[in-house]
A and B are shown apart, each in its own frame.
Chain A
Amino acid sequence: MAERKALVVDDEFHIVQVVAIKLRNNGFEVFTADNGSDAYRLACEHRPDVIVTDYQMPAMTGIELTEKLRQNSATVDIPVLLLTARGFAIDPQQKESLRVAACLSKPFSPREVLHCIEQVLAQRAAV
């Protein structure tokens, strides 16, 4: 079975690192980026199975990155999980229109992130 690929995006190095370690330890090939532009480039290049991105990042937010991914046929279907430390919930309509698979609040549990990714991938495989 081919290794599953994940892209982790956060401008906070320690967050990227901890999620990446968790996913690598559980059989994922992980690519990392600390900004939206690099993340978009890596997504186009490697077509990951799932993207885990921070919501609030300089230059390009997680939502803006998702919008960009949805406009490209190569990345339009990649499931996106948002990590957010924002004091308010993400607009449900926006979440639905951008097909955001899940929103996880910071502080988050790496265990929960992994579990969520597994669920999303299982649903896609079933379809």
Chain B
Amino acid sequence: MGWWACLTALVAAAGGLSLLLPGTLSAGILWLTACAAGVGLGAVLWRMLNGLDELCLRLEDPAAYSEEKSSSLPAPFRCALQKWSIQQKERTEQLESENRRLLLELQQCRRHRMWGQPILNTIRDAVLVVNEQDQIIFANPAAQELLGFCPEADSPPSLETTVTEPLLREKIRRCRSGRICHLRHELTFDVHSRRRIFEAVFSFLEESGENGGNVVAVLHDISREHEISQMKNEFVNQVSHELKTPLASINAYAEMLVDSEAQDAEAIRQFCSIIQNQALRLNRMIEDMLNISRIESGLVKVNKENHSIALIVRDAVEMMQSYAQEKNITLHSPPPILYDQACVDRDMISQAVINLISNAVKYTPAGGSVTVGLEVDEADGRLRVTVSDTGVGIPPEELGRLFEKFYRIQANSHLAKGTGLGLNLVKQIIETLHGGRVFVSSTVGQGSTFGFELPLASAGCAAAPV
């Protein structure tokens, strides 16, 4: 506004003077001077206005405006513009770099969110997030199943009413009140009427900009690990007992011989015989354990040839007759069968049949019977050996675990001693080494049938790689 006012005033003053002095040379000169001044200032002003306009254009779109165009600007503007351009360029680069970083972070966040949700939904551990108002703001499906609730979209369930286990509630609250970033605790409580053990980890997550925070609780079910650990301990004790019992006899009778406690030659012979038998018993047990270990590690050598399974079964029954008689149990052998050849390792199949008969005799009360059967299904190309007893039977819930290593039915464990290895060895021999299948059926109080199926021999019997 100042420039315009000055210019207007100057031109007006020159014009006014020329009008006051009409017809004179001075008036003409003044008029021309006024006009010249007006034109000069106008040109300067014009250039300034153009510069400003250009500056505005450059500010609006620096990329579209070329260096050549700015070269027509006055020097101060040009310098300011160049300085500003450099700053602008640096700032643009910074912003572009920041933009790239944020885009990457955004992508990562999206990816995490995209992956995180399915991961949390898939894992078997229960994950809970409880806010400072004691509300469950997140529970993955495992947690929902564990606690038996379905979250509603509009109102998060309260910890107090949803989590019935007081110790779990207490730990969550303790973690929050103490702002503990890592609290580990073993919790035991019933889930669907089953005792379960959990390794629980609680973490306090502080909310930024707020006083409170959330607690994340992760519950990992370790019931199975506990069970296995317990089974291992029981196994060690059981094996210790089973191995030490024959060893105790060997040691005691040997000492009796040394101390001349055997009264006569017959007693000496009896003591020696006991020592020998107990040594053999010890060896059998160790062999059983080693056999399972060898089969599992793939180190066992299998000598497969075509054999008559009926003959193997007949020999096994003969071998077990005296044991059955000792317990007053009748042992029935299968009727002869015409074609019953299978490509097997004879000693191993014999071991499997003996284990099944021995098991049946063990758990059958005196006066009962054990029947060994053999069926051939030529159409199916398989044969089936069964050992049925009139024993105590097995509860249905235990059937699925009978062939597990070291597993013994607690309810029946008082009836007979054992390491829980016999049936597992049968399974390993039949399924791992011969491609067969073991099976069991039972009725409590009536008896059980254990057995196995094997493929009938084909033309070429070659030892399968083991």
Identify the A interface with B (CB < 8 A).
11-12, 14-15, 18-19, 21-22, 25, 56, 58-59, 83, 85-88, 106-111
Contact = CB atoms under 8 A, between A and B. Distances in A.
Contacts of A86: 237, 240-241
B245 interface: yes
Interface string B385-423: 000000000000000000000000000011111000000
Given A25-B263, A58-B417, 4 more contacts: A15-B249, A22-B256, A59-B414, A107-B248
Interface string B250-278: 11110110010101000000000010001
Contacts of B416: 58
B408 to A, nearest CB: 12
Q: Closest 10 A-B residue pairs measured CB to CB?
A: A85-B244, A87-B240, A107-B251, A106-B248, A107-B248, A58-B414, A14-B249, A18-B252, A85-B241, A106-B244
B248 A15 contact: yes
B248 A110 contact: no
6 contacts: A18-B252, A19-B252, A56-B241, A59-B414, A85-B245, A106-B247
A85 B241 CA distance: 5
Nearest to B244: A85
B261 A88 contact: no
A52 to B, nearest CB: 12
B255 A111 contact: yes
A interface SS class: loop
Given A15-B245, A58-B415, A58-B417, A108 B237 contact: no
Contact of B252 (A25, A85, A109): A109
Contacts of A21: 256, 261
B209 to A, nearest CB: 57
A22 B240 contact: no
B8 to A, nearest CB: 115
Contacts of A110: 252, 255-256, 259, 261
Contacts of A56: 241
B56 interface: no
A107 B274 contact: no
A87 B248 contact: no
Given A58-B414, A58-B416, A58-B417, A18 B249 contact: yes
A18 B256 contact: yes
Nearest to B234: A87
A56 B241 CA distance: 8
Contact of B278 (A14, A58, A85, A108): A14
A64 to B, nearest CB: 11
Contacts of A25: 261, 263
B237 A88 contact: yes
Contacts of A18: 249, 252-253, 256
B261 A107 contact: no
B236 interface: yes
A107 B414 contact: no
A11 B253 CA distance: 17
Contacts of A14: 249, 252-253, 274, 278
Nearest to A109: B255
A56 B261 CA distance: 27
A88 B413 CA distance: 20
Contact of A109 (B236, B251, B263): B251
A82 to B, nearest CB: 13
Nearest to A11: B417
A88 B261 CA distance: 31
